[in-house]
Structure 1
């Protein structure tokens, strides 16, 4: 039997990632990420997470705040793969698109996530950074991050309910 091609290895990695995400199992992702993986935040271009250990720890935080995560079938083009997923964060429905770039060894070297709609992104922004800040820095940093993001989440959820009535 011939050895799997890079495309077959990447396909298997994406399938493993999707299954682990649906189970909320960040530890199952460890071998999928290259040692120098970069995760681009969906919330700001000012922050990326770098390195396998940090990206796996970030996924533990992500899976702790997302509920009912369901993925879609992936799409691929060369070394790039993508799939969408839906979930809820604090009861707010969220849709996201995951863009992955692989190295020749079929490890993820770059992971970028795009989130919609704005109220879901704002709720994620008010929920995830406090957890990450507490893990990476301190409980005080986490509390401050949460307090700074909370008004934005409230404003965007309120605007989402009211603005469409004016359109």
Structure 2
């Protein structure tokens, strides 16, 4: 049962099909963001906003791993935000009917996390009727992206032997 749900979820996510993604979820699904622990998205309509923003920002999503049991699974994919490679893991919890009731997500590496924040944050803020917050998020993530990108390049030089 659970592999059918996550198989549908993976296929829908790779295709960018928001309606099919939402069909795998319970009405009161909870999504825990990889960007902040201060909030969560509750219910299909809030989760819809996140997936719509993700599908317009993250390209080339391809899942490579789906492991777990009938109640919880871990799904991993790779994609791109602009020129930045993203790898994300989602811990998926399922109810007795095999519907997704909770998604907790993690992103790596750090430059990808910041790129996703810069791409999705403003879109989500606008969707929730907060245009000023969208502008603020857009402005504040630019220097962070520059700093993290520079740090990542330095780390690569340190690790070369």
- Is TM (by shorter chain) over 0.5? yes
Query: What residue number does 1:99 align with?
Result: 91
Query: What residue number does 1:68 align with?
Result: 60
Query: What residue number does 1:35 align with?
Result: 27
Aligned length: 159
Q: CA contact under 8 A between 2:62 and 2:79: conserved in structure 1?
A: yes
Query: What residue number does 2:142 align with?
Result: 150
TM-score by length of 2: 0.93
Query: What residue number does 1:140 align with?
Result: 132
Deviation per CA, 1:70-89, whole angstroms, max 9, x where unpaired? Answer: 00231013400111100001
Distance 2:96 2:69 in 1: 14
Query: What residue number does 1:125 align with?
Result: 117
Query: What residue number does 1:26 align with?
Result: 18
Distance 1:120 1:58 in 2: 17
DSSP-derived class of the 2:65 partner: coil
Q: How far did residue 50 of structure 1 move?
A: 0.5
Deviation per CA, 1:60-104, whole angstroms, max 9, x where unpaired? Answer: 111110001100231013400111100001210011111100011
Q: 1:163 is matched with which residue: 148, 155, 161?
A: 155
Distance 2:22 2:111 in 1: 31
**Which residues of structure 2 form unaligned runs of 5+?**
none
1:79 is the counterpart of 2:80: no
Distance 1:166 1:29 in 2: 41
Query: What residue number does 2:100 align with?
Result: 108
